[in-house]
Amino acid sequence: MLIGEVAKRAGLSKDTIRHYEALGLLHSIPKRAGTREYRVYDKTTLERLSMIAFAKRLQIPLRTMVDPINRALSNESTATERTAFAEKCIEDVEARIAELQIIREELIAFAKHPVKPHADARMKALGLWIE
């Protein structure tokens, strides 16, 4: 498939396809036609794009998905490795949840006392005040 067909079938822009290829998530083969060079994408491209969409939905950084996608599609990864990857992602999500809970508490405190002196005191207490 050429990039236009891949983009159309996936509902993505050509630039997005190129970006994923630059990250190593997609692979293509160059093909010459006269003076132009085209990129031909193989049969795994749509499956890879499905995995990328799933990773994005789970907010997994795409740069971390290169090896897992390659290993999954070549049947090199074991169930133990896939479980370990998922558990690492769970740890990352739990860390983000903890950070968001702190942010939530700060916003609640500010909503209760939305005055500058209180906000200034809070920033000083957090070591964020710059003088």
Same-domain check for residues 95 and 41: no
Q: How many CB atoms lie within 10 A of CB 6?
A: 23
pLDDT (tens digit per residue) in 74-122: 888 899 999 999 999 999 999 999 999 999 998 998 899 888 888 888 8
Same-domain check for residues 92 and 67: no
- Among 32, 59, 77, which residue terminates a domain? 77
**C-alpha distances in angstroms, 61 versus 25, 28, 35, 84, 98?**
12, 22, 37, 16, 18
53 domain residue, yes or no: yes
Same-domain check for residues 11 and 68: yes
Structural domain harbouring 8: 1-77
pTM for this one? Answer: 0.74
How many folded domains does the chain comprise? 2
Same-domain check for residues 61 and 101: no
pLDDT (tens digit per residue) in 92-103: 999 999 999 999
